[in-house]
Chains A and B, each alone.
Chain A
Amino acid sequence: MAIDAATVRKVARLARIREPEERLEPLAQELNTIISWIEQLEEVDTDGVEPMTSVVAVALPLRDDVVTEGGDTRRILSNAPKSADGFFIVPKVVE
């Protein structure tokens, strides 16, 4: 597949990465190089091979339904640029 500047603009926007207009075309070329490199994997015949979900064949561990954490608002908020009364405070999100 080929990636154009419009696709790069969209992906950047979805990832909240600000890219100036003049960077879009060079980025598209870079990404196309990466993708064509990865496309070499298509040469491998994967018919009948289950997609690998983990490098170790173990099942998902399950934990008991008990409360082991919480009640530590100060620690939770310790990295927040702005907080008050136990809340994170962020720039206004307009709905």
Chain B
Amino acid sequence: MSEKSKLIQGRTGPWEIVLGLEIHAQVASNSKLFSGAAVGFGAGPNEQVALVDAAMPGMLPVINRHCVEQAVRAGLGLNAQINLWSRFDRKNYFYPDLPQGYQISQFKDPIVGEGIVEVERDDGTTFIVGVERLHLEQDAGKSIHDLDPNFTYVDLNRAGTALMEIVSKPDMRSSDEAASYVKKIRTILRYLGACDGDMEKGNLRADVNVSVRRPGAELGTRCEIKNVNSYRYIQQAIEYEARRQIEILEDGGSIHQETRLFDPTKIETRSMRSKEEAHDYRYFPDPDLLPLVLDPAWVQSIKDSLPELPDPKRKRFESQYGLSHYDAGVLVADQARAAFYEQAAAGRDAKLVANWTVNNLLGRLAENGGDIETSPIPPEDIAGLVKLIEDGVISSKIAKEVFDHMWAGEGTPAQVVEKFGLVQITDTGAIEASIDKIMAANPDKVEAAKERPQALGWFVGQVMRDTGGKANPAAVNEILKVKLGL
């Protein structure tokens, strides 16, 4: 994507969007950040609440080692600086689903400092997004406003769950880039096992900071759109918000820094006036918690235990298996996909396995709203299919038919080929008989082919049709050339 095409044309000239994201990723843990209550989805109201979470007087928070470890893992995965000394602050505000009256967060001294993420655009090009920081904090509970016209219902099950907030630098310039960045962060966190990345459940959500400016000018005033929880909503919210700001500026107005809410049904953002005053959070160090001091040897052991991450894996897939940048990218976008591929590719034509996995299997799964975890075809059957092609038992064309039967659960590739009689005809006698028959029936075409060798293709097509697609195309070509005297 060229720099120019990212600009938005207004009535008075081009504008550039500047985007920074705060991603809230729920730490995958059994229990909460500061209490022994369970973390999970689907429990009854207030069933997963410890006395600390309900802010009962005298209760003290004790931090979860596993959550700290996940934050360090995430920091390492984002190529970021790990701060061996960090501490927790209180972020003060009032809301019914925040019983303490403050959120325990990290303000001045976060556990993870600056990092760098390489992000792929949809067209395969890459760009760099700087990470400002990653810190640990508590999630709030849940307020339900629609159960009663006069009251709000509060469930504290989510209160105190560990979140990692990942703050980017304002390095994105289009809604596509923002979505690609979130995808990349999600992939990295899922590889690390630090967050399950389930956006539907709100386990990964983003606050989007949007501003616009004339190309090359100073940064404009930004508005923050809170809690957007799908790629599509992120893009729609940005597109709407950028247009809104451009219109105000082109009418001679100015942007008022504020928090806004995205409404997915109306596809618009609107002001959250209730949050206006809340911006004065009066942070101060939490006196209930000592500074968090990490042992460098522990950080090193975490580093040594990291899995192969998406970027190095992609480079390895390209060099080891000779895959295209695109195919490698599709396969490493998800750890389960990459593992499936590597299992299928062992000892086989790796590029052919990639073609079948990416174009056929993942394509078919996507059409049905699934991914590799729901594949009805196991990796050994993709390997089996490719082996049949390699061994010349079936042609690529027939392989598509075999694949359809495999998809329908009609057996392994070998069973399908056997059951439906799809073995490729390599017997030259049978192919010759078919060619002779077609040549005898079409003497005019025979003459034409002698004049124009390109007409050979017509004969190949006829032979394939006559043999139900089972003739070996290479053998057909060879024999045809001899018979037509080409």
Contacts and interface: CB of A to CB of B under 8 A. Distances in A.
A61 interface: yes
11 contacts: A53-B285, A53-B291, A61-B62, A62-B68, A63-B36, A63-B63, A65-B31, A65-B64, A69-B36, A86-B46, A93-B143
Given A76-B49, A86-B47, A95 B272 contact: yes
Interface string A58-95: 11111111111111110111010010111111111111
B65 A62 contact: yes
Contacts of B96: 88, 90, 93
Interface in A23-46: none
B480 to A, nearest CB: 69
B161 to A, nearest CB: 12
A2 interface: no
Interface string B62-93: 11111110000000000000000001000010
A92 to B, nearest CB: 5
B450 interface: no
Contacts of B289: 60
B35 interface: yes
Given A53-B290, A85-B45, A76 B36 contact: no
B280 interface: yes
Nearest to A89: B151
Interface string B145-171: 101111111111000000000000000
B48 interface: yes
A35 to B, nearest CB: 16
Given A64-B65, A68-B31, A92-B150, 10 more contacts: A14-B280, A53-B291, A62-B62, A62-B64, A66-B30, A69-B50, A70-B48, A88-B153, A90-B152, A93-B96
B293 interface: yes
Nearest to B153: A87
A67 B152 contact: no
Interface residues of B, number: 54
Contacts of A94: 274
Ranked 8 nearest A-B pairs via Cβ: A68-B36, A65-B66, A86-B45, A62-B65, A69-B50, A88-B154, A87-B153, A60-B290
Contacts of B31: 65-68
A95 B291 contact: no
A54 B286 CA distance: 11
Interface string B359-376: 000000000000000000
A16 interface: yes
A82 to B, nearest CB: 8
Nearest to B68: A62
Contacts of A63: 36, 62-65
Interface of B: 29-31, 35-38, 44-51, 54, 56, 62-68, 87, 92, 94-96, 143-145, 147-156, 261, 272, 274, 277, 280, 282, 285, 289-293
Given A14-B277, A65-B31, A93-B143, A87 B65 contact: no
A64 B45 CA distance: 25
A12 B92 CA distance: 13
Q: Considering residues B64, B66, B151, B289, which has the most beta carbons from chain A within 10 angstroms of its beta carbon?
A: B151
B244 to A, nearest CB: 20
A71 B51 CA distance: 11
Contacts of A79: 56
A58 to B, nearest CB: 7
Contact of A53 (B30, B50, B87, B143): B87
A60 B155 CA distance: 29
Contacts of B56: 79
Nearest to A88: B154
Contacts of A86: 44-47, 155
Question: Which among A16, A53, A65, A69 has the highest number of chain B CB atoms within 10 Å?
Answer: A65
Contacts of A68: 31, 36, 50
A60 B274 CA distance: 36
